[in-house]
């Protein structure tokens, strides 16, 4: 009996494929794309200012609200933060990933990869709150800064317009530090994977042909690791764009996209505006991917 069933399936490979693919495809379509679609629909509804009820009629009014000055600033602020976080993460992650991929012994590599990923096992909230304490006015970081007599430098930094604040944890600088920390593993792993796939003989060939290490880095290592950097930046960029916990916990009262969405759909009850705000990061990410493709980030994959 069992034999006959397996023979039946063996002779119908397409049926087997269909059976295997249908559940995940259904999930993709209904849960994943479906929710995105309902988001899109909602963003074209509007809210009745008087009753606070959602008007289910097609309108561009909600989108127009995004372009008022306050919301435009939120989008710009978030995108700028995401960009800076991405660049700094890439700068920190590259040497680390390079060391892990090309120099560390297999044993050390395993340990380093565990060290990179272990923070992801603990709760994100706990880590954010831990940072809030570290960065607080009476926190351990200020204590260290005081110890090294750098309090003046810190005060100068916190006095900078736009990014300063009364303490690190209450300033955009503090938010930036935490963002960089939180998303760093998502940058290290793709770069490390990309570098691991670069055969050692390519680096030897480059050096053999007369390239100094800096030239080898520029002409061989960087171009071949670039897809990894792009993959990592997609994580760090989009995660920063959408995050609302960190702006809620740290920084000043200036809104970020995630926070705005959170308050519009929650306390504000303005689901259409929240949906339209969410479409912002989606559009930014699509543009980002198109530019990345233009730069040849996916050519070597």
Partner 1 sequence: MMNNPSTPAIQFDKVSRYFGEVKAVDHVDLEIIDGEFFSMLGPSGSGKTTCLRMIAGFDRPTSGKIHLYGQDVSSLPPYERDVNTVFQDYALFPHMNVEANIAYGLMVKNVARQERTKHVDEMLELVRLSGFAGRKPSQLSGGQRQRVALARALINHPKVLLLDEPLGALDLKLRQQMQIELKAIQKRVGITFIFVTHDQEEAITMSDRIAVFNQGKIEQIGSPSDIYERPASSFVAGFVGTSNLVGGEIAKRTTGSEQTFSIRPEKIHIGSVSDNPASGMISLDGVIRDVVYLGLFTRYLIEIEDGVDLVVVEQNLKSTSMDVLSAKGQKVKLSWHQDHISRVGG
Catalog residues that contact partner 1 under the rule CB under 8 A: 199, 201-202, 204-212, 215, 219-220, 223-224, 299-300
- Whole-angstrom Cα distance, residue 208 to residue 140? 50
The residue behind tokens 């000043």 is: 252
Taking the least distance from each CB to partner 1, the nearer of 123 and 214 is 214
Taking the least distance from each CB to partner 1, the nearer of 43 and 216 is 216
Task: Enter the tokens of residue 284.
Answer: 């930014």
Beta carbon of residue 49, minimum distance to partner 1 (angstroms, whole number): 56
Helix axes 2-10, 13-27, angle to 10 degrees: 80
Q: Cβ neighbours of residue 218 under 8 Å, at least 6 residues apart? A: none
Beta-bridge mates of residue 55? 46
Taking the least distance from each CB to partner 1, the nearer of 112 and 300 is 300
Beta carbon of residue 164, minimum distance to partner 1 (angstroms, whole number): 43
- Whole-angstrom Cα distance, residue 46 to residue 276? 10
- Whole-angstrom Cα distance, residue 143 to residue 84? 27
Torsion angles phi and psi, residue 46, rounded to 5: -140, 175
Task: Enter the tokens of residue 48.
Answer: 């009745």
Beta carbon of residue 196, minimum distance to partner 1 (angstroms, whole number): 15
Return the sign of the alpha-carbon dihedral for residues 259, 263, 266, 269: negative
Helix axes 271-294, 69-98, angle to 10 degrees: 40
Task: Enter the tokens of residue 281.
Answer: 């990061």
CA 106 from chain center: how many Å?
A: 29
Give the end-to-end CA distance of the chain in Å, rounded to a whole number.
45
């Amino acid at each position: 009996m069992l034999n006959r069933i397996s023979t039946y399936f063996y002779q119908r490979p397409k049926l087997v494929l269909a059976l295997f693919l249908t559940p995940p495809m259904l999930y993709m379509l209904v849960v994943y794309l479906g929710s995105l679609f309902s988001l899109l629909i909602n963003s074209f509804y509007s809210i009745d200012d008087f009753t606070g009820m959602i008007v289910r009629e097609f309108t561009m009014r909600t989108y127009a609200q995004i372009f008022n000055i306050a919301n435009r600033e939120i989008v710009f602020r978030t995108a700028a933060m995401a960009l800076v976080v991405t660049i700094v993460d890439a700068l920190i992650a590259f040497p680390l990933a390079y060391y892990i991929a090309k120099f560390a012994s297999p044993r050390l590599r395993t340990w380093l990869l565990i060290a990179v990923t272990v923070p992801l096992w603990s709760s994100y909230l706990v880590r954010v709150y831990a940072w809030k304490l570290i960065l607080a006015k009476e926190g351990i970081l200020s204590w260290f800064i005081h110890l090294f007599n750098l309090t003046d430098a810190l005060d100068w930094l916190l006095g900078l317009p736009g990014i300063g604040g009364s303490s690190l944890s209450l300033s955009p600088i503090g938010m930036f530090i935490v963002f960089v920390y939180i998303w760093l593993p998502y940058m290290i792993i793709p770069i490390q994977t990309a570098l691991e796939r670069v055969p050692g003989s390519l680096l030897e060939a480059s050096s053999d042909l007369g390239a100094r290490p800096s030239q080898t880095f520029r002409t061989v290592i960087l171009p071949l690791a670039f897809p990894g950097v792009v993959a990592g930046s997609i994580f760090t960029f989009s995660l920063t764009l959408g995050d609302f916990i960190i702006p809620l916990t740290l920084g000043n009262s200036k809104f970020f996209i995630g926070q705005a969405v959170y308050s519009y759909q929650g306390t504000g009850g303005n689901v259409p505006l929240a949906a339209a705000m969410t479409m912002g990061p989606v559009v930014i990410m699509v543009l980002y991917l198109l530019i990345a493709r233009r730069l040849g980030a996916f050519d070597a994959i």
